[in-house]
Structure 1
Amino acid sequence: MTTVAITQTRTTCPYCGVGCGVAITRQDTDVLPVAGDKHHPSNFGRLCVKGSNLHDTLDLDGRLLYPSVNGERVDWDTALDTVANQLRSVIAEHGPGAVAIYAAGQMLTEDYYAVNKLMKGFIGSGNLDTNSRLCMASAVASYKRAFGSDTVPGCYEDLEQADLLIITGSNAAWAHPILFQRMTAAKKANPDLKVIVVDPRRTATCDLADLHLAIRPGSDAFLFNALLGYMDAQNALDTDFINQHTEGSDELLANIRSQWQGIEAAAAQLDVSAEDLTTCLEWFKARPRTVTFYSQGINQSSSGTDKGNAIINLHLATGRIGKPGACPFSITGQPNAMGGREVGGLANQLAAHMDFADADRDRVQRFWNAPNLVQGPGLKAVDLFNAIKAGDIKFVWIISTNPLVSMPDADDVRAALQACDMVVVSDNMGNTDTALLADVLLPAAGWGEKNGTVTNSERRISRQRGFLPSPGEARADWWIISQIGRRLGYESAFDWQHPAEVFDEYARLTGFENNGSRDLDLSGLAGMSQEKYDRMLPVQWPVNAQYPQGRQRFFEDGRFFTPSGKARFINVTPALPVSRSNDGPLIMNTGRVRDHWHTMTRTAKSSKLAQHIREPYLDIHPQDAERFGIQEGQLARVFNSRGDILVRAHITSDQRTGEVFVPMHWTDRYASKGRMGALIDKTNDPISGQPELKFTGVSVEPFKTRWRGMLLSRVDLGAIPCDYWAYGPTETCHGYELAGNQEPEAMLAWAKSAFPNARWLQMRDPMESHERLVAVENNLIQMVLFLHPHEAFETRQWLLERFRAGELTPAERRFLLAGNPADGVEDQGKTVCSCFSVGEKPIREAIKGGCKTAEELSAKLRCGSNCGSCIPELKNLIRLESAN
């Protein structure tokens, strides 16, 4: 009798900053579909659609498995020696300032700690920055200005205990779905809870809103100053809290009073109705348990720090901080953006929430016994890549991120890396835009293989545990970094043998000479054995003698981390962003879609995730579409002085006039011309250095093509030789959306050359310019190519099933060439619920059949019953069918 080995692992999701617990079950070597960890306090067993499909992302397609130098595979010693020798040479000739590292919020805290120690303590360069500069740098700066420390004051339970939720700069329904579901449940449990969504466009998050304020882009600080001005005029400030626990109120209130000109004037500034603004003001006054929940729409701005401080000023002045259901709450975008902030992953931080003051430098230098401790801050991301292009930085090491897609003016970043003397890339994927420019590639362990910790948005430290062996010769980032440190002559400083040792050193540093003077203190976790580290449960920092089980909220005692112990009001004079005059008449906003993540290196491996939105797209208001001659479903060229992209047009009144939205995810791997970062200017916040990613001037125009096409293939064909293509896997094959102006015959010839041993089924309709081509080998479908002047080919499930099925029957060959499904085969249409692969067609039929609520649809079709991410779309389909 064969015994099946069952192993279970509790780990943490590698996507957003919610930090959900994930339960992994392995049956022998097979990873079963993942489940939420019911014991994890972040999600209590729930997972969003991305988390629910993590098991689909563990294959080795595209994985970087072996080190290479100049495109040639080498062993680890050769690769590490090459890196260390170049580092040593650059430092000797040009100094440590000629070295840079650009890291990521995808790294574990132990990895982050190791690279920060190496760079700032031993190489002696401050030029270590991270893609968190694009994500949370403004939130960090505003917290530090107000509180004296980078302290998130609240916790997730506050979202459930509030009487008013203000969601601003966040499409939480898509970007942080589990927190959105917690908010939804809270509203259902408390009908008196009011939700205000502040966003220029109507998003899925507005499904929860009692009030949607579609403000002028970039006017957030005007709104929060208006709220403060109104509360001051109504004598509704918390004067006791202000007098006892804050400083700078006189100057702030004088500034606010000079700005406050009444509701009508404020509404005009914000471009909202006076009635809606009045409702917002009155709800805020009446509901002291208020959480302002904010993310990238606030941070990714040339005035993001001021916007954050405008929010914090309002909470301080009304005493809405340190209390259940009341706090300013910035939500992080990446799984370990918080951990990176803790250990000093940003160029303007030193380590463990210490900066470059003399006392901090002295303390860190003694703890590390660091011979070359950096003197001051290094270059932030935008300036760092500018310095690479200028030749001031000769060596850059990029770890776990893809700046050729995510950075502003991304084509200029490409030029910078092409000009750099040495580019080293550590990643688990070898086919990213950035990896393709590397001189040295170092294969890194990925999720499921790594072992360490991450910190979520409520300061909760959780374990990421490995449950798979690293494939090929992939290694953990902390190991790679420590090997370089040793080769540079610092063996004793980097002699860790296990991530538990790295964590222990980090925990000891947080408590070193702390005595309550710094918010971050993990001294209660220092000294753990490897066994205890392996068993470590989620806990919110600080963890020390005073808070041995962690601390849920900060500032309930009115004590802050400024020299005076009082919170500081920061004078904010709002300013609207300004795009370059020659960039175009429309303002482009960017952000995430529901089922994808960052630059798709993980989510694009999952067929379920890839099918919800198959192409990069443009949301544009009907008036603007008419103005620029854009039709629904047409390709549009979006362009300005820096570059252009091709995206599929979606006309929607959810978008304000004069503004468009383009998602951030598509790369050269997944689309012919979808890298929206190429359009964005380098303008950034003067305090935080965070780029203005939400406000870019662009023009649009129709991109007319002779034909649209769909290609399905058993093999990944890479880039397709036509004007436009977008790639994504399906459950049975590889899928491409195509369009072009090439002769159709040229596409047919290329397809035939890709399958030289195939037999061909072909149907041509010259009158309709409709081409159908099917490749068959051993009586199995290998490829299907359909071309048509305007057909979108949404009906395709039946074709996908043909790839799953066995040998073709004569009848199936006829159906293929007819371009219609076989009798009895139903097509689902566009995927709405990715968890259960429920398409739009059965949902619409169920609505016509009597389902009037999302709950009824869920009971009938299961859609919306798992992660809930599709519920806003279900409700929208109900509204559309009712309107029809």
Structure 2
Amino acid sequence: MRRDVDQPGPPMPPAAIRTTCPYCGVGCGVLATPDGRGGAAIAGDPSHPANLGRLCSKGAALGETLGLGSRVLHPLRRTASGSYERIGWEAALDAVADGLKSVIATHGPDAVAFYLSGQLLTEDYYLANKLMKGFIGSPHVDTNSRLCMASTVAGQRRVFGSDTVPGSYEDLDSADLIVLVGSNAAWCHPVLFRRMQQNRAQRGARIVVIDPRATATSEDVDQVLRLAPGSDTLLFAGLLVHLADRGLTDADYLARHVEGYEAALTNAREIAPSLEAVARGTGLDATEIAAFYALWSETPAVVTAWSQGVNQSAQGTDKVAAILHCHLATGRIGKPGCGPFSLTGQPNAMGGREVGGLANMLAAHMGYAPTEIDRVQRFWKAPRMAQSEGLKAVAMMEAVEAGRIRALWVMATNPAVSLPRADRVRAALGSLDLFVVSENVLSNDTLAARPHLILPAAAWGEKDGTVTNSERRISRQRAFLSLPSEVKPDWWIIAQVAQRLGFADAFAHAGPAAIYAEHAALSAFENEGRRDFDIGAHAGLTKHAYDALQPVQWPAPAARPLGTPRLFAEGGFFTANGRARMVPLAAPALASAASEALPLLLNTGRLRDHWHTLTRTGLSPRLSAHCAEPSVQIHPEDARRYGLTEAGFARIANDHGSVVLKVALDPGMTRGSLFAPIHWSAETASHARIGAAVQAMCDPWSGQPEMKATPSSIEQVTYAAQGFVLSRDAFLLPEGSWWSRLAVEGGEARLFATDAGPAEWMAAVRARFEEADLTELVDMAGGAYRCAVIRDGRLLAALFLAPFGGLPLWDSVKRAFADPAALPDNRLALLAGRSLDGASDPGPTVCACFGVGLAAIRAAFAGGAASPDEIGRQLKAGTNCGSCLPEIRRIGAQARATVAA
């Protein structure tokens, strides 16, 4: 994609640059080849051990997200009138520093907070943490990783004494049993799931999925346990009892490396006194539980992996501990093909954990014990070291709302969308004395809260530093594009503010290499093997060596520079006595509807081809083609109960807020539950900010909010008509319309539902395109209106309106809009929804990696293709990341059923 402004300086050479994907915690290696015009060709790096050349649909589409049309390129300051003015960096940095000084002088350092992101590089994260906790003296630094993996951090620290993932991705290749708990890995970690499926196909490994809903991950596995929401602890407590009662624990490992086993087992018996009690609490059949327990206990090489279904829970820390207990009790940890494994959500969530990005941690995996505070203070030569844990994300925003926090600096995240009770968060942000946002996009919901200063930060492709993935592997994220206009790296912005606050000597780093070297030196400082995080081998890296750094798994102490694939096979836990601690767990508080008024549980999560709040993936037409509209998934029986129909609309509401989403019937949903995506914001949809309808109940250990089970109601919403509009730039819809905005080739599209009739739409179009050539088809009585707007022989816009349920597919119109050479002489054919080039309608996109539509896959099955492998050979669909394979299997099954009928 060509960038929209000139680049300063000479273009970078058109050679492949090894870097790392900016999406999930898999940490895939990427080869980026600049095109000399501000864009780049993207491919997977076959030499990177995380992905071995594979990329998912999102990673493969990274080249489509590099344009500057949505970027903030200059420092901006809010004026007294509420508008924004462009200012220089000197003025912007002085304003941030002066604002912080003023708040600190009036309210003290505890009135200042930073809210960070797993999108930051480790070097950025390190400096932000150092500035706030060591020099400003406030502990209030937290991160959106609090919403992602904080329960895993808390669980691992309770049991292991450290935030240590014991295993390696290679264990997914050699395991004989892989258990996925609360993880839709086929969509959320597709490159890893492809490795698991290859192990299953080539070695016969078995896969078990534990999840309240039937997801794409559960469609081609060996066992699916659809347990009741919140009952994970009960299931794994029962497994521990099963192992103990049958003499299947590893007595030697327990005796040498674990403490608290007997108390934890007694506690597990109280939680899960019998198989029948586990069945009642989980809602599972006793025979399927027994089969799972037998499979787990009889398979020596077991990996139990989990993600947000475990973490995003008011009892997430206990769920993690319950899983760890089973692995410790059997010694199945730190050995090839076995161990507990947290699948991290963000590209650098673990890097943030390493540098103290969480409010309850200091840098280098140290906590707030007096000796650790003293150690970090001496290393940094810090003048006013924070003395206690800070406020975690939800509590931080409550403190903003209450006025206890007066200054907030948000970096690389969008809390006005992603945090629970998002409406309250957005309102609270507007009350700050100083509100600063470092961003690379010009507009999002957090910026709509009107920060005093907007600082243009470097984006992926321009950033230079390191990230750490889910297997503790540190990789370089290298710049392959020049910094556009006045954009600066986050580390530079932080250092410049620190210097203006009077801390120049401590923030005089020449670049990310120097920051990383300091970070590495702190990890080794007074460590001597007592702390898990030690990358002392990198403390003396020169800039040249840093630039050439190869992916490595920590710990990488001075004596072990090539890193450490696995830990804990022979004990060596990071507790005072070197033993893991099995801990009693709270009785599971099973999620349930609050009342007759709120009878359903709202679960939230990710879709296959999108990421966070769409500020990056939303720029790619390819990624928007699979799921174009925000929808709520509901079981067909529940839909009938509440009067909902497929492709209709429903309002989900509770005490926190409401959303209106399209209805998608899904028999894989558990009765009494709903699922809605997290991605849409006020920028990209009219009524779909799901964070506004999520409760803020948090895990007492981790502070991670429960985002999987908010009691809610649902009711039908009706509209008289529906339609779509494609335009080269923004097109405003009549007031009251429901809409979803998405990228298409050549411009943008809005899919809408409305009560406005043809006359209102005709008036809106004619007012918007006064000077253009307009062709219209109007049926006032029938409630239909279609138009094509032509300017200089090019299709400028097209709009279709029809009574609800009568809208034609839009793929042919979208294809004509995307083709600049398709001069629409045959306008009536266009308005009829027919192809202008004779090509068949591709239908909805199934494979986003290769742009393969439903029609082609159906035709291939009808033509004799018998399997997804044959579809791959014919069309390439499903041969890259494989995340579309479950859908291809369903299409094949439907084709076979049609033939049989």
Query: Could you tell me the TM-score, scaled by structure 1's length?
Result: 0.98
Relative to 1, partners in 2 of residues 1:427 and 1:579: Cα closer, same or farther, differing over 3 Å? farther
Amino acid paired to 1:869: S
Structure 2 counterpart of 1:374: 386
Tell me which moved more, 242-251 or 139-148.
242-251
The answer to whether structure 1 residue 333 and structure 2 residue 345 are counterparts is yes
Q: Offset at 1:646?
A: 1.3
- Cα shift readout 1:210-245 (whole Å, capped 9, x = no counterpart): 001010011111111111111112121111111111
Contact 1:635–1:648 at 8 Å: present in 2 too?
yes
Structure 2 counterpart of 1:118: 131
The answer to whether structure 1 residue 647 and structure 2 residue 661 are counterparts is yes
CA distance in 2, matches of 1:680, 1:806: 43
Structure 1 counterpart of 2:256: 244
Q: Offset at 1:262?
A: 2.6
Contact 2:237–2:269 at 8 Å: present in 1 too?
no
- Cα shift readout 1:1-41 (whole Å, capped 9, x = no counterpart): xx995322000000000000000112333534200011000
Stretches of structure 1 that go unaligned for 5 or more consecutive residues are none
> Which SS does the other structure have where 1:727 is aligned?
strand
> Which SS does the other structure have where 2:41 is aligned?
coil
> Which SS does the other structure have where 2:15 is aligned?
strand
> Which SS does the other structure have where 1:33 is aligned?
strand
CA distance in 1, matches of 2:13, 2:381: 47
Structure 2 counterpart of 1:601: 615
- Cα shift readout 1:390-445 (whole Å, capped 9, x = no counterpart): 01111000000000110000001011101111210001012010022211100000
CA distance in 2, matches of 1:320, 1:470: 47
Structure 1 counterpart of 2:270: 258
Relative to 1, partners in 2 of residues 1:5 and 1:687: Cα closer, same or farther, differing over 3 Å? closer
Contact 1:124–1:374 at 8 Å: present in 2 too?
yes
Structure 1 counterpart of 2:363: 351
CA distance in 1, matches of 2:147, 2:113: 17
Structure 1 counterpart of 2:717: 703
Say which of 688, 697, 704 aligns to 1:674: 688
Structure 2 counterpart of 1:574: 588
Relative to 1, partners in 2 of residues 1:78 and 1:720: Cα closer, same or farther, differing over 3 Å? farther
Q: Offset at 1:734?
A: 1.3
Contact 1:779–1:807 at 8 Å: present in 2 too?
no
CA distance in 1, matches of 2:207, 2:154: 27
Structure 2 counterpart of 1:37: 45
Contact 1:774–1:785 at 8 Å: present in 2 too?
yes
Q: Offset at 1:464?
A: 0.3
CA distance in 2, matches of 1:260, 1:696: 25
Relative to 1, partners in 2 of residues 1:104 and 1:32: Cα closer, same or farther, differing over 3 Å? closer
The answer to whether structure 1 residue 207 and structure 2 residue 219 are counterparts is yes
Aligned 1:166-177 pairs, distance under 5 A? 166-177=179-190
Contact 1:637–1:700 at 8 Å: present in 2 too?
yes
The answer to whether structure 1 residue 882 and structure 2 residue 867 are counterparts is no
Contact 2:847–2:884 at 8 Å: present in 1 too?
yes
Relative to 1, partners in 2 of residues 1:52 and 1:77: Cα closer, same or farther, differing over 3 Å? same
CA distance in 1, matches of 2:837, 2:484: 45
Relative to 1, partners in 2 of residues 1:810 and 1:410: Cα closer, same or farther, differing over 3 Å? closer
Structure 2 counterpart of 1:270: 282
**Percent identity over paired residues:** 47
Contact 2:593–2:599 at 8 Å: present in 1 too?
no
Q: Offset at 1:290?
A: 0.8
Amino acid paired to 2:161: G
Relative to 1, partners in 2 of residues 1:7 and 1:336: Cα closer, same or farther, differing over 3 Å? same
> Which SS does the other structure have where 2:603 is aligned?
strand
Structure 2 counterpart of 1:729: 743
Relative to 1, partners in 2 of residues 1:140 and 1:805: Cα closer, same or farther, differing over 3 Å? closer
The answer to whether structure 1 residue 294 and structure 2 residue 294 are counterparts is no
> Which SS does the other structure have where 1:34 is aligned?
strand
Q: Offset at 1:844?
A: 1.1
Tell me which moved more, 256-265 or 650-659.
256-265
Relative to 1, partners in 2 of residues 1:248 and 1:83: Cα closer, same or farther, differing over 3 Å? same
Structure 1 counterpart of 2:826: 812
Quote the RMSD (CA, aligned, Å): 1.6
The answer to whether structure 1 residue 588 and structure 2 residue 602 are counterparts is yes
The answer to whether structure 1 residue 232 and structure 2 residue 232 are counterparts is no
Structure 2 counterpart of 1:384: 396
Contact 1:732–1:800 at 8 Å: present in 2 too?
no
Query: Could you tell me the TM-score, scaled by structure 2's length?
Result: 0.96
> Which SS does the other structure have where 2:687 is aligned?
coil
> Which SS does the other structure have where 1:708 is aligned?
strand
- Cα shift readout 1:242-281 (whole Å, capped 9, x = no counterpart): 1111101121111222333332321121111122112101
Structure 2 counterpart of 1:497: 510
- Cα shift readout 1:266-319 (whole Å, capped 9, x = no counterpart): 112111112211210110111021111001100000000011101111111111
Structure 1 counterpart of 2:7: none
Structure 2 counterpart of 1:67: 75
Amino acid paired to 1:815: A
Say which of 10, 13, 16 aligns to 2:24: 16
Say which of 300, 304, 317 aligns to 1:305: 317
Contact 1:732–1:801 at 8 Å: present in 2 too?
no
Q: Offset at 1:583?
A: 6.1
CA distance in 2, matches of 1:5, 1:99: 43
Relative to 1, partners in 2 of residues 1:236 and 1:86: Cα closer, same or farther, differing over 3 Å? same
> Which SS does the other structure have where 1:6 is aligned?
coil
Structure 2 counterpart of 1:480: 493
Contact 2:810–2:833 at 8 Å: present in 1 too?
no
Structure 2 counterpart of 1:536: 549
Relative to 1, partners in 2 of residues 1:30 and 1:350: Cα closer, same or farther, differing over 3 Å? closer
- Cα shift readout 1:108-153 (whole Å, capped 9, x = no counterpart): 0000000000000000000100001100110000000001111110
Structure 1's consecutive aligned runs of 4 or more residues displaced over 6 angstroms after TM superposition are 807-810
- Cα shift readout 1:453-509 (whole Å, capped 9, x = no counterpart): 000000000000001011121100000000111000000000011110000000000
Aligned 1:131-150 pairs, distance under 5 A? 131-150=144-163
Q: Offset at 1:363?
A: 0.7
Aligned 1:437-836 pairs, distance under 5 A? 437=449, 438-572=451-585, 573-578=587-592, 580-581=594-595, 584-717=598-731, 721-791=735-805, 793=807, 795-805=809-819, 812-822=826-836, 824-836=838-850
The answer to whether structure 1 residue 428 and structure 2 residue 454 are counterparts is no
> Which SS does the other structure have where 1:786 is aligned?
strand
| Alignment: residue pair count | 881
Relative to 1, partners in 2 of residues 1:74 and 1:879: Cα closer, same or farther, differing over 3 Å? same
Q: Offset at 1:789?
A: 1.1
Relative to 1, partners in 2 of residues 1:76 and 1:873: Cα closer, same or farther, differing over 3 Å? same
Contact 1:349–1:355 at 8 Å: present in 2 too?
yes
